[in-house]
Structure 1
Amino acid sequence: MTDTLKIAQADLLCTNCAGQCAYDPQTGTLSCQSCGTAHEIAHDPNLNPAQEQHYHPDMPHTEQPKFSTDRHFQCETCGGDVVFQGHSIAARCAYCNGVLVEQAANESYAILGMIPFQVDAKDALKYARSWIARRWAAPSDLTATVAGCDVTGIYVPFWTFDSEEAVTYMVTYETKSGDRTVTRTQLGTMDTFFDDMLMPASPHVTPLIRDGILHEFNPSHLRPYEPAYLAGFAAERHHQTVREGLQHNESDKALLLRNRIKQHSGKSGIVDVSYKTDTTGIRYRRILLPVWILHYEYAGKPMKVVTCGLRGRTFGERPFSTPKLFAIAALISSGVIAFGFTWGALNIY
């Protein structure tokens, strides 16, 4: 065990009773699991978590991975790679509920900032169960199925990217000329800017997890990375290079660019967009953001509900009840038929 790990472990011990401490989202402190004493988490005043790093694709990048001294585990099912601080270690993967197996320490990149959990496990469970209870056309026993499940908290890795884009584009659009459909094209240029574009930094951060946190992220809430915030939680560290992060998120950026081009062109009936862009001014941050995940199984199919650890926004996977769907469809059909008869009767006179 290295001195770094010894210091981190010692920092998680209560100075009052030497008990193990865990981060408490309600108070923002390290709370002793034995005597309840709350300990403030100190920050290095010289660290600025909002600061962004510059990246130049055509120049050598000097950022090097560091050897991790945290307890490192890998999921046997999805390959999820997580670390733990202190003695609180989960047996199951937060991403897929698979079995975690301890591995040798590995290399990862320095985390530049994070937002600690602000929603605790009790509230996260309440939000997840409430989300399930509000699903229309759900099986009648779904609420009871989820009642025995719990939530797992994990810090997931994200990027924030800034970039300046000088775009040359061509849009293809259709217009009506009498009975004919005419296909036309328009060329154009535009300058646009991405600021704090939030992107996953791991293949395990699925769209469901990303969507659960995307709308509540505010870069002004970033804090310097402190291992104490991880006490009692799992965390996946950053393993992507900046180039890999940009490549893995190209499709999301392309979708945003196409939407901006459509708006800039001012044309309706667009059927195709092609473009070239000159990207400059790339800046990035490596950050960790908190999510709660509830795993459950219905009819043999694993599903999950994700609650954002910032303010509790909840998204999830759910089954449907076939009989209820048929009943709803029949009700709608009956309504349409009744409306048709009524409309017809009114127009007879």
Structure 2
Amino acid sequence: MDQIAVDQSEIQCQSCGGQCAFDPAQQDLLCGSCSSLWPLATDGDDDAATEFPFHPDAPMAEPPSLRGDQIHQCKTCGGEVIFTGPAMSETCPYCNGPVVLGIEDKAYETMALVPFRIDRDYAARCITDWVHKRIAAPSDLTRFAAEGRIASIYAPFWTFDSREAIQYWAFYTYRSGKNSRTRNVSGTMNVHFDDLLVPASPHVTPLIRDGILHDFQPRQLRPYHAGYLAGFAAERHHMTVADGLNLNAKDKDLLIRNKIKQHVGRRNTKVDRYRTDTTGIYYRRILLPVWILHYTYRGTSKKVVVSGIDGRTYGERPFSPWKLAGYSALITALTMLLGLIWGATGIL
């Protein structure tokens, strides 16, 4: 079965022939005409978390499939998305730019996904709550946010496992009497990374990634099925596993350096350099669900991102200069008052 670009008969109601959409609340297909529910669960659901080995020196065993499927390409950010079922749109879920029809060249098969678990209404409430809790926000922010457009998309990710045999060289400073001294240290350690989550698209911004990172659990993965995408947009995987490992290198470097500092166990440790022998690489190619609010505040485009898994919300927001000035004045006044009280007690 071709993935994402599917025969629409796969998501038609078996009772009345109407078009179905995935219902996040019930985790089934819901017919828009007769309200019949069609289950998507299978006996193989537990296999969705299976990971696949990757050997950097071996020939690529998974070439991309030639497609020729119809896509919607954004004229603003270049994003390419597939709309399944009743999710057709004239705007890009990522940036809200206009989309035009195009023909896809090739893509990789999706291995698993985490279905949307919250619906549009719940996502809208998460956004409203997030906006109301913004300190020093302009008074009209709620109105501008309410006028925005909420879009949904399954964003492409990898997960990576690896084992690292690390040899490092580091140093730290410490006090010896009135002098500061530097001590060089070296050592070896083993680190196991499990399910590092890496965006598989340049259109998955840090804002979108951070809206998902803290939510993902492998046990929530389900085998790919077109029904989960019915009513939603999705982006295919267009990068190789090696590309994903390269994109993950910066984040992994930071994690390794932090683990080296923990291994040294001294404050002010700095890592000079390290070598690592990477083995046991396993990966998954998955889709994760995101709701995105696009709104414009006084001529500036902004986003609020909601995890489609549990509603965790992140966003871009403006500040009110008047409220910031008021908070600053209040903090200054409180600091001065505490200073006067402190002085009056004679403690100083």
Report the TM-score, using the length of structure 1 for normalisation. 0.95
Change (3 A) 1:310 1:69: farther
Partner of 1:321: 320
- Give me the whole-angstrom Cα distance separating, in 2, the residues matched to 1:56 and 1:30: 38
The CA deviation at 1:55 is: 0.7
The CA deviation at 1:177 is: 2.2
1:347 is paired with a residue whose SS is coil
The CA deviation at 1:134 is: 0.5
2:76 is equivalent to residue 77 of structure 1: yes
Change (3 A) 1:127 1:196: same
The CA deviation at 1:26 is: 0.8
1:186 is paired with a residue whose SS is strand
Partner of 2:210: 211
Partner of 2:31: 32
The CA deviation at 1:337 is: 0.7
The CA deviation at 1:215 is: 1.1
The CA deviation at 1:273 is: 4.1
Where do 1:129-140 residues align within 5 Å?
A: 129-140=128-139
The CA deviation at 1:44 is: 7.0
* 1:324 aligned partner, one-letter code: K
Partner of 1:262: 261
Q: Deviations over 1:161-200 (max 9, x none)?
A: 0100000111221112233222222101100101111111
The root-mean-square deviation of aligned C-alpha atoms, in Å, is 2.1
Contact 2:215 2:309 in 1 (8 A): yes
The CA deviation at 1:81 is: 1.3
Contact 2:3 2:109 in 1 (8 A): no
Aligned length: 348
2:295 is paired with a residue whose SS is strand
* 1:227 aligned partner, one-letter code: A
Contact 2:81 2:234 in 1 (8 A): yes
Partner of 1:330: 329
1:168 is paired with a residue whose SS is strand
Contact 1:176 1:182 in 2 (8 A): yes
**Which deviates more, 173-182 or 338-347?**
173-182
Partner of 1:246: 245
2:8 is paired with a residue whose SS is helix
The CA deviation at 1:305 is: 0.6
* 2:304 aligned partner, one-letter code: V
Partner of 1:339: 338
The CA deviation at 1:5 is: 9.0
* 2:79 aligned partner, one-letter code: G
Contact 1:118 1:311 in 2 (8 A): yes
* 1:241 aligned partner, one-letter code: T
Identity %: 50
Where do 1:39-58 residues align within 5 Å?
A: 39-41=38-40, 43=42, 45=44, 48-58=47-57
Partner of 1:292: 291
- Give me the whole-angstrom Cα distance separating, in 1, the residues matched to 2:22 and 2:45: 23
Partner of 1:168: 167
- Give me the whole-angstrom Cα distance separating, in 2, the residues matched to 1:64 and 1:136: 50
- Give me the whole-angstrom Cα distance separating, in 1, the residues matched to 2:322 and 2:123: 31
2:180 is equivalent to residue 193 of structure 1: no
The CA deviation at 1:243 is: 0.5
The CA deviation at 1:3 is: 9.4
Contact 1:70 1:85 in 2 (8 A): no
2:291 is equivalent to residue 277 of structure 1: no
- Give me the whole-angstrom Cα distance separating, in 2, the residues matched to 1:4 and 1:28: 19
Change (3 A) 1:272 1:5: closer
Change (3 A) 1:265 1:15: same
Partner of 1:144: 143
**Which deviates more, 224-233 or 176-185?**
176-185
The CA deviation at 1:48 is: 2.4
- Give me the whole-angstrom Cα distance separating, in 1, the residues matched to 2:167 and 2:2: 54
Q: Deviations over 1:7-58 (max 9, x none)?
A: 6211111222222111110111111122222112254749922111111111
Contact 2:5 2:84 in 1 (8 A): no
Partner of 2:126: 127
Change (3 A) 1:305 1:148: same
* 1:260 aligned partner, one-letter code: K
- Give me the whole-angstrom Cα distance separating, in 2, the residues matched to 1:348 and 1:223: 64
Change (3 A) 1:333 1:60: same
* 2:90 aligned partner, one-letter code: A
- Give me the whole-angstrom Cα distance separating, in 2, the residues matched to 1:242 and 1:21: 34
1:159 is paired with a residue whose SS is strand
1:48 is paired with a residue whose SS is helix
* 2:215 aligned partner, one-letter code: E
The CA deviation at 1:205 is: 1.1
- Give me the whole-angstrom Cα distance separating, in 1, the residues matched to 2:3 and 2:268: 60
* 1:30 aligned partner, one-letter code: L
Contact 2:4 2:82 in 1 (8 A): no
2:65 is equivalent to residue 61 of structure 1: no
| Unpaired segments ≥5 residues, structure 2 | none
